[in-house]
Amino acid sequence: MGELKDYSGPFKPDLKLTDFSSEALARLLVAAGQLYLGADGMWNTLIRKYYGEEVAHKISMEVWSHNFKHEVDRPRKAMNIGGNDIETLFKIWQCDPGWAVMFDIDFKLSEDKKKGTLTVTRCRTLEYCERHNDMWLLKHACEDLDGTYIPASCEYMNPKIKCRPTILPPRKSPNDIPCQWEFWMED
């Protein structure tokens, strides 16, 4: 691992990501996650503006019907994560720039690793929706996208992994948990 804590010094024509410290790379990963989610949000906003909510919903669902598999496969490959159980899925999501890198999430796994809980303790998408009173986006993100593609990710990983939300927005207070999901392995 490198020693560079940032890139405030002189230009290095032979710079490699491995020249940066782990803290600098973590900041860069968070910035990448912000770019990723920001581009998705802006794209959705503009489709809604120019073509309406129905078209935005349809296109967004279609985009994510393909992309959710990449959100499983790419972090898995990049971080050499093996397995096909709940623990594996949680490890992948912990590394996903659009998921746990951007949201504060607590993952709990039972001792036998056949049950798990994912609790989002801070959701920047929900905070945005609350600030802008955008109930359409809140429903779309939390119910339509997450409600479809979190279970689809489980199915993609292993058809025996099942899940359900136990808490979903809207929330009554900003102090409430944004969302929570439980996972289990079917026999």
State how far the Cα of 118 lies from the Cα of 89, in Å rounded to an integer.
Answer: 11
Residue 29 falls inside a structural domain: no
The CA-based angle 95-26-18, given to 5 degrees, is 105
Residue 7 falls inside a structural domain: no
Q: What pLDDT does 106 receive?
A: 97
Q: What pLDDT does 53 receive?
A: 96
Per the CB < 8 A criterion, the answer to whether 147 and 165 are in contact is yes
Name the CA radius of gyration of the chain, rounded: 18
Residue 104 falls inside a structural domain: yes
Residue 106 falls inside a structural domain: yes
Residue 30 falls inside a structural domain: no
Residue 157 falls inside a structural domain: yes
Q: What is the number of structural domains in the chain?
A: 1
Residue 36 falls inside a structural domain: no
Residue 15 falls inside a structural domain: no
pLDDT tens for the chain, 187 residues: list them. 789 999 999 999 999 999 999 999 999 998 998 898 889 889 999 999 999 999 999 999 999 999 999 999 999 999 999 999 999 999 999 999 888 778 999 999 999 999 999 999 999 899 999 999 999 999 999 999 999 999 999 999 999 999 999 999 999 999 999 999 999 999 8
Per the CB < 8 A criterion, the answer to whether 114 and 184 are in contact is yes
From first CA to last CA, the distance across the chain in angstroms is 43
State how far the Cα of 168 lies from the Cα of 143, in Å rounded to an integer.
Answer: 8
Per the CB < 8 A criterion, the answer to whether 121 and 104 are in contact is yes
Which range marks the domain in which residue 167 is found?
A: 52-185
With DSSP H G I counted as helix, E B as strand and the rest as coil, what are the percentages for the chain, rounded to 5? 55, 15, 30
